[in-house]
């Protein structure tokens, strides 16, 4: 009891900063509008409340994309059970809106018991599914008190996170005792959960739902259209999900590449929409000819850089490129890289910087099968040059990457078998 009070006090002290960051207006960031009240448990009832819904929590964009195949399969198996998906961010909400007709969206209440209780009272969920590691103590305890089972899917626990939980074991105990089942990405994740005291009977290694990626035909068609717009016969490199401090590295390497490949085009996709204008300024200051995706300007042979200033179009953008550089990997250990599954599923040769610890298991598989090249800031330009000059080798890298994705598929089927055990069928 005292532990819970202490945690709530810490959260109360930290909440002004957390809320400021959440509601801070940024360029390209969708507005919460009048729906900000939902973060405080003032949640509208669902349009379809004939039976208790399944509640899925996906904090932001990446998690929202990951659950798409699960949502579609759940809805197919249980067409009469409503599904409500909560996100914390407005960008996550924009992604979930693409599932309109299958789910209803609500914003996740912040982790005060009274906020969560308000949400539960209105929504009346039969089951809570949490994506990855969005584990909030008061939320879990409030859900458990209402006898609502909790399943964590795509559960991962890095060595770094496990060490933190060991240091704050009193918080971990609140979390672990209120979760009914962990569906882990890898055996290493399962082992770390067990070392933290989780009963092995509550753990199943399923792999990642992200491997069961569902690439819509509409995205493939849009990628072909975009490729024609950008230039069918020119080499196109995409720097996907770049972070502050990384764009300069990419631009320097691209400038060196242009001396050898003057017809090359760089598609740059900043990770955060509030950085679109800053990145454009970096490009123009470096004397590149830039076209923003949202502008009405045409891409010509003189265009060097195509700035993707939209959200939720990564599959289309990657599909139009020849080589994919995954961001978050060239700036030390600040980020730890981003997921390689989307470019791999699209059969693209992949490049990464040396920091990819968030996806070390997948990176190792890709490296072993020659489907990924790792380079530093100083070798990026030469690596790109080599890949452009060896199109057959690059193509083989892409094919190898797709095989890795196909080999790892099956998490969706395994996850659904566990979820069915906790699901109240209403058919």
Mean residue pLDDT across the chain: 91
pLDDT band at 425 (very low <50, low <70, confident <90, very high): low
Q: Which of 38, 63, 246, 280 is catalytic?
A: 63
Give the whole-number percent of the chain exceeding pLDDT 90.
Answer: 67
Q: What pLDDT is attached to residue 168?
A: 80
Q: Which of 22-36, 155-169, 273-287 has the highest mean pLDDT?
A: 273-287
* Interstrand relation of 265-270 and 290-292 (parallel, antiparallel or unpaired): unpaired
Q: What pLDDT is attached to residue 156?
A: 86
Q: What pLDDT is attached to residue 27?
A: 64
| Average pLDDT of the segment spanning 162-176 | 85
Alpha-carbon 171 to chain mean position? 25
pLDDT tens per residue, range 227-262: 999 999 999 999 999 999 999 999 999 999 999 999
The SS3 assignment for 83 reads: strand
pLDDT tens per residue, range 366-407: 999 999 999 999 999 999 999 999 999 999 999 999 999 999
| Average pLDDT of the segment spanning 68-76 | 91
Closest CA to 157 of 189, 123, 125: 189
pTM of the model: 0.79
Say which residues have a Cβ less than 8 Å from residue 43's Cβ, sequence separation at least 6. 106, 107, 109, 118, 119, 122, 123
Distances from the Cα of 118 to the Cα of 38, 40, 140, angstroms: 9, 8, 14
Catalytic annotation present for 342: no
Examine the pLDDT at 426 and tell me if it is beyond 70: no
Give the least confident one: 61-65, 130-134, 213-217.
Answer: 61-65
Question: 312-316: which pairs have CB atoms within 8 A and are 24 or more residues apart?
Answer: 312/61, 312/94, 312/95, 312/98, 313/222, 314/240, 314/241, 314/269, 314/342, 315/215, 315/216, 315/219, 315/223, 315/342, 315/346, 316/219, 316/222, 316/223, 316/226
- Measured distance CA(87)–CA(63) in Å, rounded: 9
Q: What pLDDT is attached to residue 133?
A: 77
Using CB atoms within 10 A of its CB, is residue 205 exposed (0-12), middle (13-18) or buried (19+)? middle
pLDDT tens per residue, range 16-56: 888 888 877 776 667 788 899 999 999 999 987 788 999 99
Q: What pLDDT is attached to residue 405?
A: 95
Q: What pLDDT is attached to residue 329?
A: 96
- Measured distance CA(137)–CA(170) in Å, rounded: 10
pLDDT band at 1 (very low <50, low <70, confident <90, very high): low
Domains of the chain: 28-213+410-416 (3.40.50.11720), 217-408 (3.40.50.2000)
pLDDT band at 319 (very low <50, low <70, confident <90, very high): very high
């Amino acid at each position: 009891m005292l532990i819970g009070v202490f945690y709530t006090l810490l959260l109360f002290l930290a909440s002004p900063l957390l809320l400021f960051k959440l509601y801070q207006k940024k360029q390209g960031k969708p507005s919460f509008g009048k729906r900000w009240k939902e973060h405080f448990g003032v949640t509208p009832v669902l349009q379809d409340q004939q039976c208790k819904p399944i509640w899925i929590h996906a904090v932001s964009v990446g998690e929202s994309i990951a659950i798409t195949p699960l949502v579609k399969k759940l809805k197919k198996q249980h067409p009469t059970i409503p599904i409500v998906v909560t996100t914390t961010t407005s960008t996550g909400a924009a992604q979930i809106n693409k599932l309109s007709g299958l789910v209803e969206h609500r914003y996740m209440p912040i982790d005060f018991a009274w906020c969560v209780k308000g949400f539960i009272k209105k929504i009346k969920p039969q089951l809570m599914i949490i994506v990855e590691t969005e584990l909030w103590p008061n939320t879990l305890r409030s859900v458990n008190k209402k006898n609502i089972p909790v399943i964590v899917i795509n559960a991962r626990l890095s060595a770094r996170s496990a060490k933190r939980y060991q240091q704050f074991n009193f918080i971990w105990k609140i979390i672990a005792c209120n979760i009914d089942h962990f569906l882990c990405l890898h055996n290493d994740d399962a082992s770390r959960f067990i070392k933290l005291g989780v009963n092995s009977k509550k753990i199943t290694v399923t792999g990642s739902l992200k491997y069961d990626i569902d690439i819509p035909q509409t995205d493939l068609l849009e990628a072909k259209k975009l490729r024609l717009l950008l230039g069918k016969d020119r080499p196109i490199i995409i720097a996907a999900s770049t972070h502050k401090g990384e764009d300069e590295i990419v631009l320097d390497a691209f400038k060196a590449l242009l001396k050898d490949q003057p017809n090359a085009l760089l598609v740059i996709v900043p990770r955060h929409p509030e950085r679109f204008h800053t990145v454009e300024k970096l490009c123009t200051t470096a004397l590149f000819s830039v076209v923003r995706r949202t502008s009405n300007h045409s891409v010509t042979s003189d265009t060097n850089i195509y700035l993707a200033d939209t959200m939720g179009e990564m599959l289309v953008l990657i599909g139009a490129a020849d080589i994919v550089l995954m961001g978050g990997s060239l700036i030390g250990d600040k980020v730890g890289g981003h997921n390689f599954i989307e470019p791999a599923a699209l059969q693209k040769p992949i490049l990464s910087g040396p920091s990819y610890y968030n996806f070390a298991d997948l990176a190792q598989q890709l490296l072993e099968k020659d489907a990924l090249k790792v380079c530093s800031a100083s070798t990026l330009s030469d690596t790109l040059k080599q890949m452009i000059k060896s199109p057959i080798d690059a193509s083989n890298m892409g094919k190898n990457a797709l095989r890795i994705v196909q080999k790892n598929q099956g998490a969706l089927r395994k996850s659904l078998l566990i979820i069915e055990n906790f699901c109240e069928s209403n058919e």
